[in-house]
């Protein structure tokens, strides 16, 4: 899942919550203060407003609190800089912490706490020059010692964090004065700037304590109640100008209806990841605005390649061939997305667009199933949960499409806590979501033996070799060919059904300024609330 756009979605840890959190989330009764909960459809149809005030969004306004509606929080929520369980954690990360690099709205690498990051000729040593004068939220200056301590914390073998896998080949680090760090690798790593830009490789003080979190982000923690709410306040020591907002309040809701009702009843100012089926209706409300971003976020079906029937490559290919991808985009995403071709990393400059687009072929799917020993079709269980907008709907549409090839899909819907609980990464046939990533960093997260989220239980010496060759190759054209070799393997043999890339569709009150489209797949302008303000009428 975004897991992790990071991202995430898409870079994040899928640590499951082991106990129910329904007693700690807002109910619609609590939210609206009424005895009867309104369905989102009912409220939408009744929310015609004759006139709303106009707001001046031409320039930022200082002050105020932004109320953000989110879903997916659990009792396992965390403010740890290097562990992301769900979307609410990712939101906190983006506002409390920063890394040496980050990904901008166009998914290009941007300098943040570093002013330059350069490899040597064979990419065995990377040198990062740090921005001078950066302070943590407690007023202490950030130095090279903090950078080294942060990366050591991430890759601690006794307690590895979300991005430990991408640091696996890091040998040692060396401070070259207070504002320069050398990263020495056991073998060449030509793409180290990519994990440096991840939201789970942020920089914290060398004595960092997640119970009293300190970071360099635009906001710092004021209060935190897992599965319920978080309040962040402006960091007075922020190095990159003063954020417009005084505070951010993150409110977790236990279902989509509740968060949509919160938006429409003005209980929150913006919401992340609205159901795309409601996008047109929300847009018709003159009080509201949509934020519609094309992204590399993907919502795959995951087939365990070590479990029957998916241990047979022909079955995996058959399952891919029953998918009507255009229909999935239209029915699941209401057209807010682009067709996928069973390969991730669509924003990777080396993505193989020349590969033939896989299309629905029921007869070929039947033939492959027969060859695999299933001439009369087969029955499988598909585990789904509302882990991301569209996942449950995708399961339902897939079940209908698969029926034509003699595949009976029994849908088992569970709640998010159960999905990411003890059986997470053990489901034979399930779903996931990931934010925008390039091929090699994504493979590090889900295709390697040491990957934290190997959802398909993929194990391949060939894949391991491809990733090593990508990291070792410093010539861009030669590296492109290796990336496409790895993509071809997944296209032909992999355990993912990647039917499409979803737009990130969010909604907000029209008085909220500063939100812009972002290709990262992370909601609400990648949660960059340092640029957001509340306009006045």
Write down the pLDDT at residue 51: 64
Distance (Å, rounded) from C-alpha 16 to C-alpha 523? 21
Q: For residue range 375-423, what is the model confidence (pLDDT) as tens digits?
A: 999 999 999 998 888 899 999 999 999 999 999 999 999 988 899 889 9
- Do β-strands 247-253 and 229-234 pair in parallel, antiparallel, or remain unpaired? antiparallel
> Residue 310 falls within a domain, yes or no?
no
484 sits in which H/E element: helix 476-493
Residue 52 DSSP class: -
> Residue 510 falls within a domain, yes or no?
yes
> Residue 122 falls within a domain, yes or no?
no
Residue 26 DSSP class: B
> Residue 513 falls within a domain, yes or no?
yes
Write down the pLDDT at residue 24: 34
Residue 240, preceding bond cis, omega within 30 degrees? no
Residue 286's domain spans which residues?
22-93+215-294+506-534
- Which tops the pLDDT comparison, 444 or 267? 267
Kindly give, in sequence order, each residue whose CB lies less than 8 Å from that of residue 481, ignoring residues fewer than 6 positions away. none
Residue 109 DSSP class: E
> Residue 264 falls within a domain, yes or no?
yes
> Residue 15 falls within a domain, yes or no?
no
Question: For residues 260-299, b (16+ Cβ closer than 10 Å) or e, as one string?
Answer: bbbbbbebbbbbbbbbbbbbebbeebeebbebebbbbbbb
Straight-line distance from the first to the last Cα atom of the chain, in angstroms, rounded to the nearest whole number: 40
CATH number for position 261: 3.40.190.10
Three-state secondary structure readout of 178-199:
CCEEEEEECCCCCCCHHHHCCC
Q: Is 33 left (phi over 0), alpha (psi -120 to 50) or beta?
A: left
pLDDT band at 85 (very low <50, low <70, confident <90, very high): confident
Write down the pLDDT at residue 16: 35
Write down the pLDDT at residue 45: 44
- Per the prediction, the chain carries an average pLDDT of 90
Q: Indicate the number of domains in the chain.
A: 1
> Residue 225 falls within a domain, yes or no?
yes
Residue 36, pLDDT > 90, answer no
- Do β-strands 496-497 and 301-303 pair in parallel, antiparallel, or remain unpaired? antiparallel
If you average pLDDT over residues 58-78, what whole number do you get? Answer: 93
Residues of the chain above pLDDT 90, percent:
80
**Do the Cβ atoms of 481 and 466 come closer than 8 Å?**
no
> Residue 108 falls within a domain, yes or no?
no
Q: For residue range 113-169, what is the model confidence (pLDDT) as tens digits?
A: 999 999 999 999 999 999 999 999 999 999 999 999 999 999 999 999 989 988 988
């Amino acid at each position: 899942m975004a897991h992790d756009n990071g991202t995430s979605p898409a870079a994040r840890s899928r640590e499951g919550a082991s106990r129910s959190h329904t007693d700690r989330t807002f109910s619609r009764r609590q939210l609206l203060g009424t005895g009867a909960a309104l369905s989102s459809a009912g409220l939408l149809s009744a929310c015609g407003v004759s006139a709303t005030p106009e707001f001046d969004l031409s320039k930022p306004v200082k002050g105020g609190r932004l109320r953000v509606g989110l879903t997916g929080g659990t009792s396992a929520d965390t403010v740890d800089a290097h562990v992301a369980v769900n979307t609410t954690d990712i939101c906190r990360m983006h506002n409390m912490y920063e890394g040496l690099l980050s990904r901008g709205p166009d998914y290009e690498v941007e300098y943040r706490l570093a002013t330059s990051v350069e490899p040597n000729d064979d990419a065995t040593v990377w040198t990062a020059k740090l921005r001078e004068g950066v302070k943590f939220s407690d007023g202490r200056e950030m130095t090279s010692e903090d950078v080294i301590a942060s990366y050591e914390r991430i890759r601690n073998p006794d307690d590895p964090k979300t991005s430990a896998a991408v640091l696996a080949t890091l040998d040692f680090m060396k401070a070259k004065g207070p504002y320069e760090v050398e990263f020495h690798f056991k073998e060449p790593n030509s793409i180290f700037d990519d994990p440096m830009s991840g939201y789970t490789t942020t920089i914290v003080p060398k004595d960092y304590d997640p119970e009293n979190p300190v970071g360099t982000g635009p906001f710092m923690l004021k209060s935190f109640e897992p599965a319920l709410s978080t309040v962040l306040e402006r960091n007075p020591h922020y190095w990159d100008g003063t954020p417009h907002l005084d505070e951010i309040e993150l409110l977790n809701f236990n279902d989509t209806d509740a968060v949509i009702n919160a938006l429409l009843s003005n209980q929150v100012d913006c919401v992340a990841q609205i159901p795309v089926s409601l996008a047109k209706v929300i847009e018709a409300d003159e009080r509201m605005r949509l934020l519609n971003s094309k992204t590399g976020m993907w919502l795959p079906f995951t087939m365990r390649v070590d479990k029957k029937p998916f241990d047979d490559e022909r079955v995996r290919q058959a399952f891919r061939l029953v998918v009507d991808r255009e229909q999935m985009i239209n029915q699941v995403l209401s057209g807010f997305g682009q067709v996928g071709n069973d390969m991730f990393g669509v924003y990777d400059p080396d993505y193989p667009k020349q590969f033939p687009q896989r299309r629905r072929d029921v007869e070929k799917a039947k033939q492959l199933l027969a060859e695999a020993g299933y001439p009369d079709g087969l029955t499988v269980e598909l585990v789904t949960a509302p882990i991301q907008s569209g996942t449950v709907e995708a399961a339902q549409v897939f079940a209908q499409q698969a029926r034509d090839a003699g595949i009976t899909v029994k849908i088992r819907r569970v709640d998010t806590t159960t999905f990411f609980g003890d059986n997470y990464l053990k489901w034979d046939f399930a779903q996931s979501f990931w934010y925008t990533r390039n091929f090699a960093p994504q493979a590090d997260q889900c295709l390697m033996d040491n990957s934290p989220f190997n959802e398909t239980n993929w194990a391949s010496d060939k894949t391991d070799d491809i990733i090593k060759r990508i990291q070792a190759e410093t010539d861009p054209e030669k590296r492109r060919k290796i990336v496409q070799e790895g993509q071809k393997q997944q296209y032909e043999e992999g355990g993912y059904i990647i039917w499409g890339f979803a737009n990130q569709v969010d909604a907000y009150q029209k008085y909220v300024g500063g939100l812009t489209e972002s290709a990262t797949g992370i909601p609400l302008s990648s949660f960059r609330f340092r640029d957001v303000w509340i306009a006045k009428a």
